[in-house]
Structure 1
Amino acid sequence: MSTQTADVVVLVPGFLGFGRVGEFYYFAERVISVIRGALEMRLGRPVPVVPCCTLPMGRLALRQEFLLRWLTSLDAQFDGVRRIHLVGHSAGGVDAELLTCAEAIFNDGGSWGDAARVRGQIASVTAIASPFHGTYLAASEVAKFVRSPKSNLRAAGAAARMLWILAELVVRTPGSVDIARGMVSSMPETAKFLYQLWQNRELIDDLSPVSMAQLRQRCRSEGRVPVTCFVTTTLATEQASRDADAFFLELRRLTADHDAAEATSAMHTSLALLTSRAEAAIRCPDVNVPSFDLGASDGVVNSACQILDPANPAGLGGICVADHADVLGHYDRKDEFIAGPPLNAGLFHSGSRFGDNQFFELYKRVALAIARSIEPRDHAQAHLGAEGSQRLQMPPSSA
């Protein structure tokens, strides 16, 4: 007889949506290992950690519907799950959090329908570098060109320049060449992914600050599920810029180019909260304490957009000086005692000097946020079980 699995952690990818393409994994294997190890040490029982996939760059509504179907399938594979804990990176955090809202956006703000049951199993959401209030990168001229080339021909030169910078980077960086070779080795799968990516580019519109502000007006959290946000930022100092590659610097420039008139009150409140917590940021000791303004970002998402509800400081799990891919485990990972090239190469090089110490500290805190949502329920379940046992052991009434 199968027993219900108590807790499962699901890793939700960002706007590219894939779990794996070729030999490249969205979440590095270390992410799964650290979360599972930390939870099992604390709880004393198995807690599976499973990466999922979503639609690459499809609209948020379509991604929500796809994710719900995926979670329903997962529940069936485990013969029933008591609690599901979602850990989302980038747009994946938005996908996860929107499942905690009263209205389903895939159903035009209507009821959750058949998805209500699996949605009720969601017990926590942890978001890392998520654009809850959009990102100015989605509003940039280059993003508009990618979304609709014919309507934004003026940005063709800037887009071509970014492609040239990226191509030069791939040629110069051994780790990037390895990633490219891994994707080429599974060409049919990679080609299918790239085709889907090109066919479904509407997510760019959905993640602009204006679009996200409108969505926030329509969708309100029920407050049942705790949402913990981890904010990422990179340094705009001269030292960091010297260490950064040209592609990252261009990304950060585009993300920093903002319209101050579009900044919401939530963004300004977030800046105040981030500034007050900056000293406690997870960072390499060699880099400075971060400073925050509307242009501060991890190269992809503005830091001020990454806190769901800045009026609730308890929802901020921490600040990490890292770029958008560092926190996935894709950073220049070096052996502390053996000289030589990195064990694996990062996707971006931002000058943040993110390393193993920062990676493990971040995911230790992620695991802690998940555990805090489990332990009170486990305690209540144990208490109810003890009461039931006591009732079974009570002698029959003599009346």
Structure 2
Amino acid sequence: MSGLDDLAGIGADRRRGGYSRHVFDDAERHLREWFVEQAERRGLAVETDANTNIWAWWGNPGPGAVVTGSHLDSVPGGGAFDGPLGVVSALEAVDLLRERGFRPRAPLALVVFSEEEGGRFGVPCLGSRLMTGTIHPDRARGLRDSDGLTFAEAMGSFGADPARIGRDDDALGRIAAFVELHVEQGKGLIDLNRPIAVADSILGHGRWRFRFRGQGNHAGATLIDDRNDPMIPAARLVLAARDAAAATRDGRATVGRLVPTPGGTNVIASAVDVHLDARAPRDARALVDDLAGQAREFAAQEGCHVDVVEESFGDTVHFDPTLRDRLRTVLGDAPTLPTGAGHDAGVLAAETPTAMLFVRNPTGISHAPEEHATAEDCEEGSHALARVLAELAG
């Protein structure tokens, strides 16, 4: 896909491999500029809302709109397809529809949501959460990145006004249906030997921070029996999370980030932050409540303390069945798949009918440089999205 080729050099991460593109950084800014240029080249009217989501309109903005799009940011060292494929496919779907002489009877919009991965400020789907009011603006403004910069400060440096963020009833009131195309982040389509699927549901999932506090000290001068080392209960929690997930039907628990303070090799840490991602089809919070109890026991045994903070949570999402079945019919009885990955479509599902299309990932790997989709399957995805948009907007 030519659009993905355009983005290939932007945000490449030489240390991790893959791409690191985070909200308001130079790479993400270049991606935004690319999208605006591409949309305007197609004669679409572009606007950026108060939550820094970008909208490109085919037809006059208004109620009853059919909306498609995704995001352009990435996890640290992420793949090339997660997010950008949905944006590029939306642009290509517009091209395909115009080649066929299609003119939408309902407004049609392309959207790029801001900070979907939460790679910089820790809360996923931040642009859609702000738009739907599922995160309070004050909390969002106070989120900090790894350098201590707040979301409000970064937003101000980007040229946007953090005082204006929050629920956007005008934007929500325009949307009649939202369809997000995304590379599949698993092996479902490999097993089915199909290039395209329609999403059925999203696992309930959230992020929690466990902060273990002990006594910082000298690694060489402090006897083992004299230590209150928070790294010990932190390490035990990592293992306990794996066991708890294995004991939960279709559960997942992952520690992807562990941050010791002060972080010296020859220093016993004074505190350790363990960032946990937990997912389950039924009550992911129950899984974490069990782990929190274990964490308190682990901390007490080492003479430490632990605080647990829920950073984000989304319950299990079942996509609108009428819209889902309509898409399946348009696409020739496409298969349906659940997903364990969160998406902006899942956040919007509480406000408006939403659906998702998945494009086969022949590696079955995502959030890593090995993430992939073939040119043939990407083309199939663009054509599928075009057929869906023609059905919904025609």
Give the TM-score, by structure 1 length. Answer: 0.31
Q: Between Structure 1 and Structure 2, which shows a larger proportion of strand residues?
A: 2
Give the TM-score, by structure 2 length. Answer: 0.31
Q: Between Structure 1 and Structure 2, which shows a larger proportion of helix residues?
A: 1
Higher RCO structure, 1 or 2 (CA under 8 Å, sep 6+): 2
